[in-house]
Amino acid sequence: MISLKKIKSHMMAFSLSALALGLAGCHGGNARGDFVMPESFDDSRDIEIVFWAKNDTNKTQTEIYAKCVEDFEALYPNVDVNMKLYTDYSAIYNDVITNISTDTTPNVCITYPDHIATYMTGSGEVVCLDDVINDEKYGLGGSEIRFDGPSAGEIVPQYLGELELSGHLMGLPFMRSSEALYINKTYVEAMGYEIPDIPTWDWVWEVSEAALAQNPDGTYAVNGQDVMIPFIYKSTDNMLITMLRQADAGYSDDEGNILIFNDKCGQILKEIASHGATKAFSTFKISSYPGNFMNAGQCILAVDSTAGATWIGSGAPLSDIHDSKKVDFETVVRPVPQYDAGNIRMISQGPSVCIFNKDDPQEVLASWLFAQFLLTNKVQESYSETEGYVPVTTKALNDPEYLDYLSKGGEDNGEHYQVKIDCVRMILDNIGNTFITPVFNGSASLRNAAGQMVENCVKTVRRGGRVDDEYLQGMYSDVAQMYRLGEQRVNAGSRDLGPLPKTAVILLLSLAAAWICMGIVYFRDVLKAKKSGKGE
Amino acid sequence: MKKFTAIFAAAAVIASLSACGGQTDAAPAADAKSEGVMTYADYAAADVDTEVTIETYVQDKQGWWENEGVGNATFYTQDKEGGYFLYNMPCSKEDYDLMVPGTKIKVTGYKAEWSGEVEIVDAKYEIESGDTYVATATDVTDKLGDNDALSAYMNQYVTFTGLTVADRDGAAFTYGWDGSGEQGSDLYFNLNDANGNTYTFVVESYLRGADSDVYKTVESFEVGNTVDITGFMYWYEGPQVHTTIATVK
């Protein structure tokens, strides 16, 4: 647990921040007022909207976005969609934050729910979709829509629910993915291990340590090479978040309380560090992409996004390494390692889309129409087929064309690349086993902090240090300070978020009392000083 | 706060006086390392994950940016023996502006290797006064075809002459690795040497943006052009020079 001594100095900053946010109230920041749906879409004048799109450094995805824009503009000829391409969610996030202050946010952008929560603070003015989706004419599946989009009931409820922030729908899901454990079946079986349907952490650690066995000449027995990093996890923030969820340990809650600095988290970090110390385990940030090592036969277990499936495996259509470095092996896909194989927990992730409010309601309506267009079958299916993504609508999931695509897994190493389609099937089999983390202003920082702690622990042991209770105490303190955990926890709010939680009320009352006491003491001292004639 | 500032100032004065007192001998020659500082050979021999302390000279730098309130920048540095890539080194904007090409710095951090690129991470630095050094580019054209020979120049300022622009996805360059980017993204292009070996070069947008001469020059490339290239010998699963100068012959 974080030491009281070290956290004390942060409390004043947190207190002031919390008080300021509390005083700002839940309705602050929305200078334009809520978006009100126009009676009808205005065809008579030109409307320009800006769309910031994210792709996975994947040319096919950018082509799909471009085609989507082209098709939409054909349906709404007076709307001009200007697209800007990104390959990184955090770059979009940083640019949106920068542009909020100058009121130059895009109209539509691909984003994460965590980021939307931050956009909602200040004057971010993300359009609330509570009423918008149900509008008779222009809502999802509305009567005046010029394309065959999904109705509200045709969006997978779990995915739509991920965009509910404080009880309000603040965006739409665009694609969903998860993480997968990619296994070099050929090498693992050669080591004498059977691959379980649901691998556990114990199994993964055991196999990883066993893969470090060396030949007399110093090469690794499993691959005959000089390099072997048995297990690499791409996203260490997901890693810790998932392990905590599987262990029923605290991370955060819906009120934005930071719960991550707990004993179970310490145990998990020590467990990870112990395998970092032997170099049975490493991370993307420390070593590089898991797929690069796996395809070279230098890694046998890799956890990466299903949206990276086309980079992993002997026949992977995408690769960063020279052909001469590739080795032949069979890849199998499994859910991420579990603590309890009978109670699978895996993260739900993937791009969502949000809309920013503008002065012109027609511009916002055009934005909303475009966002809906992203959910049409053609866009959903074509984009999902570029990687291990799952469409977010039942309309697309049940489309015979999509089902035909899934049935052709392994027919080729391009469109029907086996590993990619295995990933999609794995997600579809586990929709009920996925989870998301609470979204609040500051949840993006907490996520970064989780990853940072894994990286810190692994780096420390690699450098000869120890990860023990004392180390963890210090790291918790440093990370809490760096990521300002606790300072931003009052929920994002340009909207009415309901009554404050009891704990927050008590906190604010305590703070008010503290300030009153400080004021009394201050004025008493001033009076005393005046009486004694010394001044200050 | 005033009290703290006064104490800090006094400590700084004492520290600087004691430092001066320690330098009774003549100032070290340009290539001599201060006490406790590794030579390039020591650095090259050090294992990954070990702490290293070096003295080096800034040659170029990528853009400064903030992460959770902490400023960072990536620096290309070199002494007279070899190159050092300082990845995401925390630094203030003020110091970043001071660290112009030639500036001598002392750096302590950890040696790391990422996809073959040897770098220093989690680094701290001190700007040192005195001598400056700006490297001239070493012509390593004759090393093409031999990655081991090229890797000996990793992170150094190098130049290649007489290479031929090769086709890359139907064009002379792509925005982004596979063409999924747009103007302003990293520019990738392939060049052939005289023996037909193909190498990928990049104009890293955080080092030279879309307004730079090199970016515009590469955008003007046509397949078959003969070009000279100068830049830093970066490594990503093989040599991938971060290009700063491109000339069409």
Helix (H, G, I), strand (E, B) or coil at A442: coil
Q: Tokens 């300082």 — which residue?
A: B86
Helix (H, G, I), strand (E, B) or coil at A84: strand
Highest mean pLDDT among A16-25, A412-421, B30-39: A412-421
pLDDT for A24 equals 30
Q: How many CB pairs under 8 A join A and B?
A: 57
Closest-CA distance of chain B to residue A288, Å? 6
How far is it, in rounded angstroms, from Cα A416 to Cα A290?
22
Within 10 angstroms of residue A452's Cβ, the number of other Cβ atoms is: 20
pLDDT digits (tens, 9 = 90+) for A37-58: 999 999 999 999 999 999 888 8
| Overall average pLDDT of the A216-240 stretch | 98
- Chain A residue numbers touching B179 (CB-CB < 8 A): 59, 62
| Residue bearing the bigger pLDDT, A255 or A516 | A255
Q: Tell me which chain B residue has its CA closest to the CA of residue A452.
A: B68
| Overall average pLDDT of the B172-198 stretch | 94
User: Which one, of A251, A254, A256, lies nearest residue A237 by Cα?
Assistant: A251
- Under the banding of pLDDT at 50, 70 and 90, the label for residue A512 is low
Q: Are A288 and B236 in contact (CB under 8 A)?
A: no
- Distance from chain centroid for Cα A468: 29
Average pLDDT, chain A: 88
Average pLDDT, chain B: 89
Q: Does pLDDT of A517 surpass 90? A: no
Domains and CATH numbers, chain A: 1-26+236-274+437-496 (no CATH), 31-177+349-398 (3.40.190.10)
Q: Does pLDDT of B9 surpass 50? A: no
**Among A297-311, A340-354, A434-448, whose mean pLDDT is lowest?**
A434-448
pLDDT for A183 equals 98
Q: Does pLDDT of A71 surpass 70? A: yes
Length of chain B: 249
**Any B CB within 8 A of A484 CB:** yes
**Among A71-85, A438-452, B221-235, whose mean pLDDT is lowest?**
A438-452
Long-range pairs for B18-24: beta carbons < 8 A, 24 or more residues apart: none
pLDDT digits (tens, 9 = 90+) for B49-75: 999 999 999 999 999 998 888 999 999
The beta-carbon neighbor of A287 closest among B114, B176, B237 is B114
ipTM: 0.85
**Cβ partners under 8 Å of residue A128, min gap 6:** A34, A35, A168, A169, A170, A495
Domains and CATH numbers, chain B: 29-128 (2.40.50.140), 138-248 (2.40.50.140)
How far is it, in rounded angstroms, from Cα A343 to Cα B32?
62
pLDDT for A527 equals 55
Say whether A482 and B177 touch across the interface (CB within 8 A): no
Q: Tokens 């952008």 — which residue?
A: A109
pLDDT for A289 equals 97
Phi, psi for B245 (deg, rounded to 5): -135, 130
157-176 in B: which are within 8 Å (CB) of A? 169, 176
- Chain A residue numbers touching B122 (CB-CB < 8 A): 459
Tokens coding A136: 């008779």
Q: Mutation test of the interface with chain A: which of B180, B186, B190, choosing the one with the most A Cβ atoms within 10 A?
A: B180
pLDDT for A200 equals 98
pTM score above 0.90: no
pLDDT for A123 equals 63
Say whether A459 and B180 touch across the interface (CB within 8 A): no
Please name the amino acid found at residue A240. L
| Residue bearing the bigger pLDDT, B2 or B196 | B196
Q: Does pLDDT of A3 surpass 80? A: no
Sign for the CA dihedral angle at B50, B55, B58, B64 comes to positive
